A = this chain, B = another copy of it.
């Protein structure tokens, strides 16, 4: 069985930030930043981990673990699910990538090393994803938690809607 199913993208997603920019060296920058971060924290930035981060940066969109795995397999870096999941676990647990819960997908972090509360804007048509900031949800969520005695450790914020391009096309 040759697996020809189209696993992703009804339409092709544009860039993550909804803006065009010179993408060529922002990959290199991000990889360098990851490298520095790993060196500083004595983390093992192995080829598989590095390559997965590169893939996320290159595609610059949210990708499923199996999309990534397909690429890794084509490059001879491993063909079994754990290969992808292990690398993604590493990247997400060290703040180099994020998991988008709504999509079961992963994306490179736009602000590695900054210890932030990311919020994602997800286009329901083209699946493009932008990473924004929420400022720690200090507001009503924090109040609600405090009122009940709940201790917040991590917050996920994901908004679904239409990116500028698709919103225009829709109109």
Chain A interface residues toward B at CB < 8 A = 17-19, 101-102, 119, 121, 123-124, 130, 132-135, 137, 139-141, 144-145, 148-164, 167
Contacts and interface: CB of A to CB of B under 8 A. Distances in A.
5 contacts: A132-B141, A132-B145, A135-B139, A152-B161, A155-B157
Contact of A140 (B102, B135, B152, B167): B135
Specify how many copies of this chain sit in the oligomer. Answer: 2
A149 B135 contact: no
A157 B160 contact: no
Contacts of A152: 121, 159-161
A111 to B, nearest CB: 13
B158 A156 contact: yes
A7 to B, nearest CB: 19
Given A101-B158, A139-B139, A144 B133 contact: yes
